[in-house]
């Protein structure tokens, strides 16, 4: 085997050996379907399985032109939504993305969605880890 090819082979083995299970698990992943062209919301629970802190920094999906991290806040009796640059997750901690709190704002849908469909969404973390998750499309009244 040529030295350059052998080096690439060894590099590939090292990468595969380093790649283990994701350092975060995601459960209860769902997208709440709304009528018309309204932005949709994505909800889920993520739990750290890492020994170091994690930072969720974004998400993307081929089904949407834009996916943003948002948080609903209430200040002085007024509810509002704000963009969030990141969501921190301590080792062993769970964070719920749920109505009234953190959520994914899904805009510019590229396809018609129906109840029960699965939508692929990839979560991006600051350490360059990504986790691809199928989100189930649920009704507007679903929590």
pLDDT score, position 38 = 86
Q: What distance in Å separates the CA atoms of residue 62 and residue 46, rounded to the nearest whole number?
A: 21
pLDDT score, position 13 = 42
Q: State the residue for tokens 């002085």.
A: 76
| 48's tokens | 């750290």
pLDDT score, position 11 = 42
pLDDT score, position 142 = 67
Q: Are 56 and 68 in contact (CB under 8 A)?
A: no
Q: What distance in Å separates the CA atoms of residue 17 and residue 44, rounded to the nearest whole number?
A: 29
Q: Which domains does the chain have, with CATH numbers?
A: 22-138 (2.60.40.1890)
pLDDT score, position 21 = 62
Q: What is the mean pLDDT of each run of 10 residues along the chain (143 residues)?
A: 42 44 90 88 96 96 96 85 93 95 95 95 96 95 68
CA-based R_g, the chain, Å = 18
pTM of the model: 0.81
Residue 11 DSSP SS3 = helix
Closest-CA residue to 64 (of 132, 103, 130, 119): 119
């Amino acid at each position: 085997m040529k030295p350059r090819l052998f080096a690439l082979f060894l590099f590939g083995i090292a990468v595969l050996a380093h790649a283990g299970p994701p350092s975060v698990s995601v459960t209860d992943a769902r997208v709440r379907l709304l009528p018309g062209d309204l932005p949709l919301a994505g909800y889920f629970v993520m739990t750290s399985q890492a020994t170091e802190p994690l930072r969720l920094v974004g998400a993307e999906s081929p089904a949407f032109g834009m996916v943003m991290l948002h948080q609903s806040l209430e200040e002085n009796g007024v509810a509002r939504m704000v963009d969030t640059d990141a969501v921190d997750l301590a080792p062993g901690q769970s964070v719920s993305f749920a109505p009234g709190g953190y959520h994914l704002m899904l805009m510019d849908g590229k396809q018609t969605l129906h109840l029960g469909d699965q939508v692929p969404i990839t979560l991006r973390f600051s350490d360059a880890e990504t986790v691809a998750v199928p989100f189930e499309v649920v009704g507007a009244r679903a929590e």
